[in-house]
Amino acid sequence: MVFNILVLGSGAATPTLNRHCSAQIINICGVRILVDCGESTQNQMRQYHQKIQSIKTVFISHLHGDHFFGLPGLLSTMHLCGRKEALTVYAPTGAREAIELLFKVSATNIDYELNIVDIDVDEPAIIHQGKGFHVTAFPLHHSTPTYGFVFEEETPLLNLRPNVRERYGMTNDDCISVKQGNDLLLADGTVVPNVELTLPRRLPRRYAYCCDTAFDETLIPIVAGSNLLCMESTFDNAFSTMAEERCHCTASQAATIALRAGVGQLLLTHFSARYRETEVLLDEARAVFPQTLCAIDGGKYEISYKYEKQ
Ligand SMILES: [Zn+2]
Ligand SMILES: [Zn+2]
């Protein structure tokens, strides 16, 4: 099953010719999710051949313009293009009021059901249950209420080894039980251990998104074990004071979170417009955590399967 991230915007507050404001499309369990919606997101979707109506759910990390100002326009375009399917937007408190006011003063009416759900959590909590996956929101340390998200597959059932069903005369109920991880009890009282009946377990994949945030060690257990961590990296170490004052991270701070959380890979994003090239940020991060990439607009990042060792 495909699980990938398409970065539509990897820039910080001010868009540049090469980097648009924050937005990503997550493709998980056959569902497309939009995460953040900075200015120009709908243009970027067209640029990278993403169907606007394919978006089922939207998550907004916070209401700073570089993460939110693209949403009213996108919602309006969805209507103009004939959307009938309901859309759910998870966003911090205030998004509904802002959109309703904009729609009122601009005489914008939409024909589809728009559900704007306030995110208001003090600690990690599942806020969305999809088919085969769930989404956890958690607070970040920023200058306005801001949330990070973990997108995680449900634990998949085990697969049977070839021919075990016939060898042990397993019923359908036996198969379900063994796929759930139980041992098999035979009619003569013999117990066949689950490990002899099933293939190595495919581990559920996790993608964590933290943008925007200051360096915060409390994030480490929340994003621990993620296959991919996308973390803001607005500045390099030369601007560490500015990063602290503005509640942002440096590249090495993002890498420190990745290292201590034991993630598989780190994807840096949300680069200040002062960086025409991101080598300085990449070098800084890789000195701490070598498995680091810098996001580019239009970049697609696959999350591959991993299996439990037996
Ligand atoms: Zn931002
Ligand atoms: Zn911000």
Q: Which of 196, 220, 251 is the last residue of a domain?
A: 196
Is the domain of 27 the same as that of 176?
no
Is residue 310, in this structure, part of any structural domain at all? no
**What pTM does this model have?**
0.91
Note the ligand closest to the C-alpha atom of 143: 2
Q: E-assigned strands of the chain?
A: 3-9, 23-28, 31-37, 55-59, 87-92, 114-119, 125-129, 133-139, 147-153, 184-185, 191-192, 206-210, 228-232, 265-269, 292-294, 300-302
Low-confidence ranges of the chain (pLDDT < 70): 309-310
Is the domain of 276 the same as that of 128?
yes
Query: Is the distance from CB of 139 to CB of 125 less than 8 angstroms?
Result: no
Q: Which of 66, 174, 236, 297 is catalytic?
A: 66
Note the ligand closest to the C-alpha atom of 36: 1
Alpha-carbon distance of 207 to 204, in angstroms, equals 10
Q: Is 66 a catalytic residue?
A: yes
Is the domain of 240 the same as that of 298?
yes
Greatest pairwise CA separation for the chain in angstroms: 76
Kindly report the CATH number assigned to the domain that includes residue 235.
3.60.15.10
Is residue 289, in this structure, part of any structural domain at all? yes
Q: What is the pLDDT of residue 1?
A: 85
Is residue 146, in this structure, part of any structural domain at all? yes
Is the domain of 103 the same as that of 189?
no
Q: What is the pLDDT of residue 155?
A: 87
Is residue 42, in this structure, part of any structural domain at all? yes
Q: How far is the CA of 268 from the centre of ligand 1 (A)?
A: 13
Number of independent structural domains in the chain: 2
Domain membership of residue 29 as a residue range: 3-156+201-302
Is the domain of 140 the same as that of 28?
yes
Structure tokens at 108: 């914008």
Q: What is the pLDDT of residue 13?
A: 87
Q: What is the pLDDT of residue 310?
A: 59
Query: Cβ neighbours of residue 250 under 8 Å, at least 6 residues apart?
Result: 215, 233, 234, 235, 236, 237, 239, 240, 243, 284
Q: How far is the CA of 222 from the centre of ligand 2 (A)?
A: 20
Q: What is the pLDDT of residue 266?
A: 97
Per-residue pLDDT of 207-262, as tens digits, reads 999 999 999 999 999 999 999 999 999 999 998 898 899 999 999 999 999 999 99
Q: How far is the CA of 211 from the centre of ligand 1 (A)?
A: 7
